[in-house]
Amino acid sequence: MTGWMVMAALAAGGGTAAVGAPKADTAPAKDVRSPTEIVAAAPAGDWVTIAAEDMLVMDLAPDARGRARRVVIQLMPPPFSQGWVGNIRTLAAAHWWDGLSINRVQDNYVVQWGDAQGDDEVKAKPLPSALAALPLARYEAPREPGELSIDPNGFGDYTPSKPFLSIEIEESPYIFAGFYAGWPIGRTGSDQEMWPIHCYGMVGVGRGMPPDTGSGAELYAVIGHAPRHLDRNLAIVGRVIAGIEHLSSLPRGTGALGFYADPAERVPIVSVRLASELPPAQRPRHQYLSTESESFARYADARANRREPFFVQPAGGADICNMPVPVRPAP
Amino acid sequence: MTGWMVMAALAAGGGTAAVGAPKADTAPAKDVRSPTEIVAAAPAGDWVTIAAEDMLVMDLAPDARGRARRVVIQLMPPPFSQGWVGNIRTLAAAHWWDGLSINRVQDNYVVQWGDAQGDDEVKAKPLPSALAALPLARYEAPREPGELSIDPNGFGDYTPSKPFLSIEIEESPYIFAGFYAGWPIGRTGSDQEMWPIHCYGMVGVGRGMPPDTGSGAELYAVIGHAPRHLDRNLAIVGRVIAGIEHLSSLPRGTGALGFYADPAERVPIVSVRLASELPPAQRPRHQYLSTESESFARYADARANRREPFFVQPAGGADICNMPVPVRPAP
């Protein structure tokens, strides 16, 4: 119960140094390298290759100077959001997004794409009939002990063998946060539920009012400070792992909620495909740093305690969204 | 000591509902309005007009379609960073930034402007001789009881009479966070120090390696998830209160650290002036919502507990950087 102990120590003593740091009795000597240096030195075995069928490739129309704009999204693995992820696979296979557009860019919040006529029963593009209807139930996934071995004793521990890692990087008012199988995850203190977290670059499913949960046809990507109030209120289905700048640098919409007021401002989507549908030579190839690796534990610790000479005062902790999981082109 | 008590309750019980919420015994009935509705209904007396001498007006060259790009920055008030703020006033009065440029745009991090030749002793633009040299000392401000009445009993309290407000919106691993005189502020548990926080839109002073602290000539604005590791490591001197989209939507630089690889990509700065130097008709006029007002307390609570019908599960807490201080054009 290291996590709780660390919090109790803070509540009792108010110290600034101990919280957020790994346990002294299990951690190796402090790593004075920068996060970038630690990632660059990670052994090949610490990297996980992302399967082609788990990447969505969105090609936007070229920019005003004629440059290509490709956005690559890694889809969320089980046990999270798989109903919507399945629909997204169906929509991509149907080439449903081809010819649609990015319709909303709200500063410090989200970019959203899909059918600009989505609310118009006559003009809206028909959806594939094979989409699953997803009732309002749980945006969380239940903890299944045989499947997700979350070990509270792992909190604060460098031991890289656990699938759920947290080094007490965030003490959110309502949850613990950590990493599971390469993703930032929140969970309740009682360990009964867990859910993906809205960090920069995360991709989620737009929807109307509850009990609507969205089909997956309307998607958004986070382009600002983590909107954590969306956690458990919308389905996170992936994250942008390449080309986020083609979304984050778009002109902001001037209509309500950042929708483009003038249809001419919309950014055309040429195509959206699963990478596995592309000819092999055209497939993106990416790897992420295993969040169960010792390299990741050291990286996370270095993000929380910047020891490079530039820093006067290491923070001693970091928000989970300020520890983006490293992604690189596959060598 | 409400703040500590709230944390202790979490550590002991792990409940999800109580933390981040105002104290039941002092709070009025829950406000079911949205944050936007609360701000819109705030009485005139809850708004503070920003003095013209406390706003920096940066006019960039028009964009590719000929549209004007004006960025307005509110300068940081005492007791924070006043040495650098004084230098910035001197630099603006000297029209020092006129003809310089935005040179760096790093995705999910910062936009930086100043003299692109700043490291070249021959080509660099001379600085005004009146600039103060600022030694490496404290990026924090000491708590001065006669001046800053931080009252720990104010934590979690709706009472709007205290200059420092925190509703336990964040339990960062190393600090408490709250609002002081309109700004997001961190402080240690021992109440001895306080400092501004790097949230979206905050403006800071670029520098080299310590003990260099920068003069204020090289400035950056945050355009991504709050880089809290910069807190207490760089001087925050203000925040963008209008026109952030003219910075955040710029093309990302492809050089190291997001610097523009091609000098032609730099964005020309036409002029930087204190608003008080502009003809009265051209001055921007803005107000911020007093962080000591009851309206702000309700707004902050509503940001932490979204009660609109869209939300399935209110978070019960929010990061301080997800509670941007509302700013509006002066009516």
Looking at residues A145-152, what average pLDDT do you find? 36
The minimum CA-CA distance between B315 and chain A, rounded to whole Å, is 6
A16·B188 Cβ contact <8 A? yes
Question: Does residue A267 belong to the interface with chain B, where contact is any CB pair within 8 Å?
Answer: no
Q: Does residue A56 or residue A192 have the better pLDDT?
A: A56
Partners of A214 on chain B (C-beta within 8 Å) are none
Residues B57-71: what's their mean pLDDT?
97
Phi, psi of B176 (to 5 degrees): -100, 155
From chain B, the residues in CB contact with A245 under 8 A are: 107, 251-252
Asked whether this complex has an ipTM greater than 0.90, the answer is: no
Of B201, B231, B306, the CB nearest to A315: B231
Q: Structure tokens of A1?
A: 């119960």
Edge-to-edge strand list for the sheet holding A164-165 = A141-142, A193-196, A183-187, A176-180, A164-165
| DSSP state letters, B128-168 | PTTPPP--S--SSEE--TTT----GGGTT---TT-SEE--S
pLDDT band at residue B320, thresholds of 50, 70 and 90?
A: confident
pLDDT of A303 reads 86
CB contact under 8 A, B200 and A225: yes
Give the pTM.
0.87
CA-to-CA distance for A295 and A47, rounded, in angstroms? 10
A226 to chain B, any CB pair closer than 8 A? The answer is yes
d(CA B110, CA A172): 25
- Strands lying side by side in the sheet with A327-329: A47-49, A286-289, A327-329
Instruction: Tally Cβ neighbours within 10 Å of residue B248.
Output: 24
Distance CA B56, CA B52 (A): 8
Average pLDDT over residues A302-306: 85
Indicate if the pLDDT at residue A150 is higher than 80. Answer: no
Written as one string, the DSSP assignment of A2-21 is HHHHHHHHHHHH--SSSTTS
CB distance from B14 to chain A under 8 Å?
Answer: yes
Give the residue carrying structure tokens 């880089």. Answer: B227
pLDDT of residue B154: 33
- For residue B272, pLDDT beyond 70: yes
pLDDT score, position B29: 55
Q: Cα dist. A278→A62, A96, A244, A283 in Å?
A: 19, 16, 20, 6
Which residues on B lie below 8 Å from A225 (Cβ)? 199-200, 224-226, 319, 321-322
**Nearest 5 degrees, angle CA A233-CA A163-CA A22?**
95
Note the pLDDT tens digit of each residue in A252-296.
999 999 999 999 999 999 999 999 999 999 999 999 999 888 898
Across residues B128-143, what is the average pLDDT?
82
CB contact under 8 A, B20 and A173: yes
pLDDT band at B190 (very low <50, low <70, confident <90, very high): low
Could you tell me if B8 lies within 8 Å of chain A, comparing CB atoms? yes
Cα dihedral across residues B91, B93, B99, B105: positive or negative? positive
A108:B252 CB<8 A: no
Helix axes A2-13, B2-13, angle to 10 degrees: 160
pLDDT at B8: 22
Nearest Cα of chain A lies from the Cα of B143 at a distance, in angstroms, of: 17
DSSP letters spanning A21-88: SPPTTT--SPP-S-HHHHHHT--GGGEEEPPGGGEEEEEEPP-TT---EEEEEEEPPTTSSHHHHHHH
Note whether A311 contacts B250, CB cutoff 8 Å: no
The DSSP-derived string for A127-146 is PPTTPPP--S--SSEE--TT
User: How sure is the predictor about B161, in pLDDT bands with cuts at 50, 70 and 90?
Assistant: very low
Mean pLDDT, all residues of chain A: 82
Mutate to test the interface with B, among A67, A172, A213, A307 (most CBs of B within 10 A): A172
Residue-wise pLDDT for B207-224, tens only, equals 999 999 999 999 999 999
A191 touches chain B (CB under 8 A): no
**Other residues' Cβ atoms within 10 Å of the Cβ of residue B231:** 25
Cβ under 8 Å to A: B residues 286-325: 303-304, 306, 309-319, 321-322
- Is the CB of residue B172 less than 8 Å away from at least one CB of chain A? yes
Indicate the pLDDT class of residue A305, thresholds 50, 70 and 90: confident
**CA-nearest residue of chain B to A4?**
B11
- Find the CB nearest B107 among A226, A228, A248: A248
* Cβ <8 Å between B231 and A108: no
Considering only CA atoms, which of B262, B241, B271 is closest in space to residue B48?
A: B241
